[in-house]
Amino acid sequence: MEYIQQVLFLIVVGVAAFILTKRIKHIRSAIQLGKDVDLSDNKSARLNNMLLVAFGQKKMFKRFIPAFLHLLIYVGFLVINLEVLEFVLDGILGTHRLFAPYLGSFYNVLMNVFEFLAVAVLFSCVVFLIRRNVLKVKRFHAAEMTKWPTLDGNLILVIEIILMIAILTMNASDQLLQTRMPDQYASTGSLFFSSFLIPLLDGFGDNMLVIVERGAWWFHIVGILAFSVYITYSKHLHIALAFPNTYYSSLKPKGEMNNMDAVTNEVNMMLGINTEQAAAPPAEVGRFGAKDVNDLTWKNIMSAYSCTECGRCTSECPANQTGKKLSPRKIMMDTRDRADEVQTSIEKGGKGLEDGKSLLGDYITKEEINACTSCNACVEACPVNINPLEIILEMRRYVAMEESGSPASWNSMFQNIETSFAPWKFAPTDRFNWANDLKSEKADS
């Protein structure tokens, strides 16, 4: 029987590893649909960003209550996985509580810490479910939060609650078995939280207790493996991608726009500015701005897959607050969905990017991108340093430079800037006439 369990365990792990590897390759290929960009500079600053924002949860604490609850889940996720290591080794070796004999009384301390975190995770998930479904926090019920995004958010919370209950049930039944079969079950000492479940199981016979303990053990380890696969289809992929996404996030001051090198070089040459880039012939430009995901950078697409769908960006967006259709969260969700659609098509031998659709138009409308004020509120609000504004500006650039499709008032402004160096239509020599008028008024007085 022991060997059967080991074989079954290895089969389950092998299946999960196969599916997970396939999903990781899919997501990696989807991210690589984007253009290459070198983000290898200033490694110390990037590492500092990652440690503070992703690992340290720095930007989460702008809203303390959800941040604190999220921290409990985050710490619980990291620490409880140490216990999962024992689960895995027990499954491979056919042992039971492998570390207990070696750690002695310290094992009891560790198990109590794990149980405390399990209860903290359970409590936090219950509160988050209440916030989503009872209090109905506005940012979780926007237009883009359709059936799947809403179900996904609730489903992951329910799964985490069930997994935590499985741990406590396993420990409670195990404590009873330690007293009934001390020769087969190593002593862990008294465990505070799971002890409350012992009266519910005390009436079970020995065989039933073994079934409950093994069932909870299998449920938890299979649940963890299934969860690992599930997050690759879910917004919870940020558990993994938040770290590289913050590491590769922009180090430029917020508000600094990315210029196209080919255009900058040409302007410099026209102005007689000698630069190393201007000395060489400008590279051929395939497309100005972005129409589809392949016109964005791989970092833009990684950010889309890193999106937590928390809606902080949209709740801070002044355009969205005034009733405009723009939602920075939707921009990221649409970018991810389009990249995933294209990559899936390529893997199936389909048309890929040549399917007659594009990110701009079929997913994101001109009305949405034109509503953006370029204020960077969404960039500042994002807890994992996602920059929806970069995508919006690239699509605006495409509309303006490739389609000449900007609003008429914008085109007038562009022309005035080009000819008069100001958004208003008056000669540069008249720019300070208002100051002369003030001098005249002062002299008269």
CATH number at residue 333: 1.10.1060
Please classify residue 13 by burial: count the beta carbons closer than 10 Å to its beta carbon, then call 0-12 exposed, 13-18 middle and 19+ buried: middle
Residues 6+ apart with CB under 8 A from 125: 73, 157, 158, 160, 161, 164
* Structure token digits, residue 387: 């920059």
Q: In this structure, is residue 205 part of a structural domain? A: yes
Residues 85 and 232 both lie in one domain: yes
Supply the pTM of this predicted model.
Answer: 0.90
Q: Which two tokens stand for residue 268?
A: 């410099």
Same domain, 122 and 194: yes
Distance of CA 87 to CAs 83, 95, 216, Å? 7, 9, 12
Domain containing residue 306: 261-405
Residues 359 and 442 in one domain: no
**Structure token digits, residue 182:** 């001390």
Helices (H), 181-275: 198-201, 206-230, 238-247, 261-271
Residue reference for tokens 């649940």: 223
One domain for residues 90 and 11: yes
Query: What was the pLDDT predicted at 434?
Result: 76
pLDDT in tens, the chain (445 residues): 557 888 999 999 999 999 999 999 999 999 999 999 999 999 999 999 999 999 999 999 988 999 999 999 999 988 887 888 898 899 988 888 999 888 989 999 999 999 999 999 999 999 999 999 999 999 999 999 989 999 999 999 999 999 999 999 999 999 999 999 988 888 888 999 999 999 999 999 999 999 999 999 999 999 999 999 999 999 999 999 999 999 999 999 888 888 887 778 877 787 777 766 544 555 555 789 999 999 999 999 999 999 999 999 999 999 999 999 999 999 999 999 999 999 999 999 999 999 999 999 999 999 999 999 999 999 999 999 999 999 999 999 999 999 989 998 898 888 888 888 888 888 888 878 878 777 777 776 6
Asked if residue 275 and residue 185 are part of one domain, the reply reads no
359 within some domain: yes
Task: Say if residue 98 is in the same domain as residue 238.
Answer: yes
The reply to whether 375 and 443 lie within a common domain is: no
- At residue 437, the pLDDT reads 74
What is the four-CA torsion angle of 364, 369, 375, 379, rounded to 10 degrees? 20
Of 212, 247, 282, which residue is a domain's last? 247
pLDDT at residue 287 in the model: 85
State which of 201, 222, 247 marks the end of a domain: 247
Q: In the numeric block, which tokens belong to residue 260?
A: 């196209």
Q: Kindly state the DSSP code that residue 364 receives in the 8-state scheme.
A: B
**Number of structural domains found in the chain:** 3
Picking from 224, 247, 270, the residue at the C-terminal end of a domain is: 247
Both 14 and 141 in a single domain? Answer: yes
